[in-house]
Amino acid sequence: MAKARRVRSGRGFGVDIGGSGIKGAPVDLAAGTLAGERVRIPTPSPSTPKAVAEVVAEVVHRFGRQSGRRPVGVTFPAVIQHGTARTAANVDDEWIGADVDALLSDQLHRHVHVVNDADAAGLAEVRYGAAKGVPGVVMVVTLGTGIGSALFLDGRLVPNTELGHLEIDGEDAELRAADSARDREDLSWEAWAPRVQRYFTVLENLFWPDLFVIGGGVSRKHEKYLPLITLRTPIVPAALRNEAGIVGAALLAAELG
């Protein structure tokens, strides 16, 4: 990945590729907010590289001049190493080994920078949201269909941590502590909270962070479970919620140029 430069103003454009929907919008890089209504198109099935690339192009083209000619930032639900997908979560396995940067750049006829979805959300929270100005070790964890993680040291991202797949008590952590597990097993917030507690206790014993930020859709309901969790590490809900991925991707693309 090229060395980033600090961007403090202007517009960017971000796209968030998810298992069910592909969303995009222009971003105000000074405020860290969307600069227009986002467009959402269902993720194609099968979600092959060609099919997804076409939908990403459609999302961007719907904004016409608003998207400008600036680089586009794109989140992707996978480990992204130097622009290449090494895994595939909730998308077709054909993505594994694909140069996602090159594929989408060719489709859009402009520079595209792809980043792991949790890393993008974390970057937005560190630059604009709940972790802004926090020194030391910060961990942003998204609890949704799976568990995504983003690790920062003094505001600098350590990419592709994939800490949702830690083995805890003999199981993949996200199978027990993701929000999807709560839905799947019809758990009350009181029954689910100890699983979240166990997961974050393992993280804090491994990394000794200065702050946890919980993201994902479940962050909107933080009052139902955060008071039930006791840690030595401060833990707070994300500020940017579902906009974080788009904002973080746009920011990264603007900084990489």
- For 189-213, what is each residue's pLDDT tens digit? 999 999 999 999 999 999 999 999 9
Q: Please tell me what DSSP assigns to residue 4.
A: P
Tokens encoding 29: 């890089």
Q: What is the mean pLDDT of residues 25-47?
A: 96
Confidence band (pLDDT; 50, 70, 90) for 257? confident
Q: Is the pLDDT reported for residue 9 higher than 70?
A: no
Model confidence band, residue 151 (pLDDT cutoffs 50, 70, 90): very high
Work out the average pLDDT over 117-135.
Answer: 97
Mean pLDDT of 37-47: 96
Token pair for residue 79? Answer: 């480990």
Range name among 16-20, 27-31, 68-72, 107-111 with the lowest pLDDT average: 68-72
Tell me what the mean pLDDT of segment 130-134 comes to. 97
Select from 6, 17, 3, 5 the least CA-distant residue to 249. 17
Asked whether the predicted pLDDT for residue 145 surpasses 90, the reply is: no
The chain-wide mean pLDDT, for the chain, equals: 94
Bridge partner residues of 234 (DSSP): none
Q: What residues have CB less than 8 Å from 196, skipping those under 6 apart?
A: 143, 177, 225, 229
Percent of the chain scored above 90 by pLDDT? 88
Inform me whether the pLDDT recorded for 8 exceeds 70.
Answer: no
Q: What is the mean pLDDT of residues 213-240?
A: 95
The answer to whether the pTM exceeds 0.75 is yes
pLDDT at 240: 94
Give the pLDDT of residue 2. Answer: 47
C-alpha distances out from residue 121 to 140, 171, 188, 189, Å = 8, 26, 27, 24
Domains of the chain plus CATH, in order, are 11-120+244-256 (3.30.420.40), 133-238 (3.30.420.40)
Q: What is the pLDDT of residue 19?
A: 85
Largest alpha-carbon pair distance within the chain?
Answer: 52
Question: Above 90 in pLDDT, residue 68?
Answer: no
Identify residue 10 by its one-letter amino acid code. G
- The average pLDDT across 77-98 equals 93
